[in-house]
């Protein structure tokens, strides 16, 4: 691994002053974009390896007693990423209806079913893991052409309005940010111009091995070659009308969760490594001989037998002493704990040790506030709002594919995105909220199910409850009629 990068201030947003991508200007736009992308790629590669444990301490050089050179990686970076993955996407994202008609509710259920079939929950975790590590992430949404041709097209040809779904009519791919990027227009709003993903083939001419797949909202281009010699090889229509490569930046600065605390983590690695060196140097002490000469053979006997005989001559008394000095490990541990808590605080994680780790009588909400779980919730809300923009762009692509295949009446304003993560109100509190809202005639039941926080899929829960209530009422009316 290379030495630590001197400057890590987030990834650069790739901009172009071109308003429309055409066959005549796409080579120039791509060439300019690759210059910025190369800088981002270098930093992304560094951060990915850093998260895996390949950190600067492994390149440590010790000049004094170089044989004692411990290189300890305390991989808090992985701990931070694992926490936020569980916090933010421990439960799948769900889509609920913002409308009130049965048709919209039915189509919302179908949308959730197709998301389940294409593994959206797992891919959200994979995508968010990229964003946490390197500051940004990408998804590519494309029609599931084999399934559409095999099942949906024949159903439509037979005159069926819809086809039975056993696969999603679209696929969601999580793209590696090292070979994927989006170019934005530098004008007001910085709207996306084109999305790019490229691969490097193992075979073929060296100047043609790199293949760039470029999507706009209306065209698909393929370009081959290196940065200095690019050649357009394919130019075909792209019928969806929306760009299928979606960027999900973690924050506006496109900084990863570990990027802002990397200097602290490097310091922790250094302190812990030096502490282990101190222990080892205490055990492997140096022996000093006063007023005597010891040859190699006698020194080897000292190692074997653990004792040595010395003779004094005149006033110069022979003596042997051990040179050792041990670090104050208590202070070192306190310093490491301080650095660790600082890193966790900056990254928005809760302080699991409480106030100096002492046991207290606090319970419930008091513990959560003392340990900064409220700060974690606010940071999660920030990540959620950033992801919401990407989700809506993704839904534009999904709805375009659904309209052209199985059909849907949904429009983007009909859909509310529900990020369901572990909150810290107990179920009794949630049940009380649900009961109170259901008891108010001015509140629609679906709003009560959506906002109580009890159900991962409030749309499905509301529908199931409505069906159950209808059966209960029907049974009650039957018993009433029989008794009459």
Write out pLDDT tens, residues 100-130. 677 788 888 889 989 999 999 999 999 999 9
Residue 401 has a pLDDT of: 93
The whole-number pLDDT of residue 356 equals 47
> Is the model's pLDDT at 201 over the cut of 50?
yes
Structure-model confidence comparison of residues 131 and 227, the more confident one = 131
pLDDT tens across 79-92, in order? 999 999 988 888 88
Task: Using DSSP, state whether 142 is helix, strand or coil.
Answer: strand
Residue 484: its pLDDT value, please? 65
How does residue 274 score in pLDDT terms, banded at 50, 70 and 90? confident
pLDDT at 301 over 70: no
56-76: pLDDT as tens digits: 888 888 777 667 778 888 999
For residues 156-164, give the mean pLDDT.
Answer: 63
Q: How much is the average pLDDT of 269-279?
A: 81
Percent of the chain past pLDDT 90, that is, above it, reads 37
Above pLDDT 70, what percent of the chain? Answer: 77
**Which helix (H) or strand (E) covers residue 194, if one does?**
strand 192-200
Residue 328 has pLDDT above 60, yes or no: yes
Q: Which sequence spans correspond to the domains of the chain?
A: 14-247, 262-362, 425-484
Average pLDDT, the chain: 82
What global pTM score does this model have? 0.77
Cα-Cα-Cα-Cα torsion 152, 154, 159, 164, nearest 10 degrees, comes to: -40
Both tokens of residue 299?
């020194």
* Distance separating alpha carbons of residues 377 and 87, to the nearest angstrom: 9
Question: What would the pLDDT profile of 399-450 be if each residue is shown by its tens digit?
Answer: 999 988 888 889 998 898 888 765 545 667 778 888 888 888 888 888 888 8
From its phi and psi, is residue 456 left (phi > 0), alpha (psi between -120 and 50) or beta?
Answer: alpha
Half-sphere exposure of 286 (CA within 13 A, CB side): 9
Q: Indicate if the pLDDT at residue 49 is higher than 70.
A: yes
Q: Give the pLDDT score at 239.
A: 85
């Amino acid at each position: 691994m290379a030495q630590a990068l001197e400057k890590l201030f987030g990834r650069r947003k790739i901009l172009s002053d071109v308003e429309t991508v055409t066959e005549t200007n796409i080579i120039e736009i791509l060439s300019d974009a690759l210059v910025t992308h190369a800088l981002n790629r270098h930093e992304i590669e560094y951060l990915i390896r850093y998260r895996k444990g390949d950190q600067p301490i492994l390149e440590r050089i010790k000049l004094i007693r170089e044989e004692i050179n411990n290189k300890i990686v305390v991989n808090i970076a992985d701990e931070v990423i694992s926490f936020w993955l569980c916090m933010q996407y421990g439960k799948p994202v769900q889509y609920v209806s913002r409308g009130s008609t049965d048709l919209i509710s039915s189509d919302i259920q179908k949308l959730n079913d197709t998301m389940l079939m294409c593994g959206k929950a797992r891919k959200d975790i994979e995508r968010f893991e990229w964003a946490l590590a390197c500051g940004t992430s990408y998804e590519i949404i494309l029609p599931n052409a084999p399934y559409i041709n095999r099942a949906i097209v024949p159903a439509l040809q037979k005159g069926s309005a819809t086809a039975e779904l056993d696969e999603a009519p679209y696929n969601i791919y999580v793209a590696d940010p090292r070979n994927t990027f989006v170019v934005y227009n530098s004008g007001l709003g910085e709207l996306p111009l084109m999305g790019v993903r490229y691969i490097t083939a193992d075979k073929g001419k060296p100047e043609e091995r790199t293949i760039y797949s470029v999507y706009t909202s209306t065209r698909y281009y393929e370009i081959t070659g290196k940065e200095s010699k690019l050649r357009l090889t394919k130019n075909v229509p792209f019928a969806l009308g929306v760009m299928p490569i979606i960027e999900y930046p973690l924050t506006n600065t496109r900084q990863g969760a570990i990027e802002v605390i990397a200097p602290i983590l490097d310091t922790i690695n250094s302190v812990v490594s030096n502490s282990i060196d101190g222990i080892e140097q205490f055990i492997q002490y140096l022996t000093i001989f006063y007023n005597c000469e010891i040859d190699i053979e006698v020194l080897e006997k000292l190692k074997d037998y653990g004792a040595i005989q010395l003779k004094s001559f005149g006033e110069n008394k022979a003596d042997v002493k051990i040179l050792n000095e041990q670090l104050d490990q208590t202070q070192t541990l306190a310093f490491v704990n301080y650095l660790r808590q600082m890193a966790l605080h900056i990254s928005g994680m809760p302080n699991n040790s409480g106030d100096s780790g002492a046991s207290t009588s606090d319970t419930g909400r008091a513990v959560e506030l003392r340990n900064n779980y409220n700060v974690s919730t606010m940071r999660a809300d920030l990540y959620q709002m950033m992801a919401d923009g990407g989700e809506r762009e993704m839904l534009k692509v999904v709805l375009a594919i659904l309209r052209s295949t199985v059909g849907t009446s949904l429009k983007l304003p009909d859909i509310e995105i529900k990020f369901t993560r572990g909150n810290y109100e107990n179920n009794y509190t949630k049940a009380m909220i649900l009961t109170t809202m259901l008891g108010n005639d001015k509140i629609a039941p679906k709003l009560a199910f959506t906002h109580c926080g009890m159900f991962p899929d409030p749309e499905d829960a509301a529908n199931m409850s409505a069906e159950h209530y209808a059966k209960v009422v029907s049974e009650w009316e039957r018993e009433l009629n029989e008794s009459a």
